[in-house]
Structure 1
Amino acid sequence: MFADDDMPKPKKLHEIGCDLTFLSAGDLEERISLLKEEISRLEADKVAKTSSKKAAESFFR
C-alpha cells in the first residue's frame, strides 16, 4: 500500500491573509469567484444543520 506522505498534496487556491501584491486583476477575480462559491457552500450547510437541529428540538419538546 501507499503511504499518505507519497500522495501529492492539493495546491491551495487561496490562503486567507496571503500577500496579494503580485496577483493580477484576473487572478483576484478568479479568487473572488472561488471564495463566493465556498461561502455559498458553507451557508447551505449551515442552513441544513440549523434545520436538522430545529427539527430535533421540536421532536424532543
Structure 2
Amino acid sequence: MDLDDLFPGKPEEPLAALARQDLDPLSLDELDARVAALQAEIARVEAHRNKAATYRANADALFSKR
C-alpha cells in the first residue's frame, strides 16, 4: 500500500478547476446560466469583502492609539 493512498494530497483549488473546464460543449443557454451564477457569486464575495473591510476598520479605530 502506498502512503499517498492513506494520506491523499491537498484537494484541488475550485477556481483553478473552474478555469480549466472546457466550455465548447455548452449551449448558449448553459453559458448564460453559468455567467449568471458567476455574477451572483461575485456579488456574494464582494458583499462579504465589504463586510470584512468594515469590521477591520472598526477594529482598527477601536484599538488605534489616539
TM-score range, shorter chain: 0.7 to 0.9
TM-score between both structures, scaled by the size of structure 1: 0.74
Structure 1 runs of 4+ aligned residues shifted over 4 Å read: none
- Of the two, which has the highest radius of gyration? 2
> Where does structure 2 lack aligned partners over 5 or more consecutive residues?
1-16
Give me the identity figure in percent. Answer: 29
Higher helix share: 2
Number of aligned pairs?
A: 48
Please report the RMSD computed on the Cα atoms of aligned residues, expressed in angstroms. 1.4
Q: TM-score, normalised by structure 2?
A: 0.68
Q: Which has the higher contact order (CA 8 A, sep 6+)?
A: 1
Instruction: Write out aligned runs for 1:19-38 (5 A).
Output: 19-38=22-41
Runs (5+) with no aligned partner, structure 1: 1-13
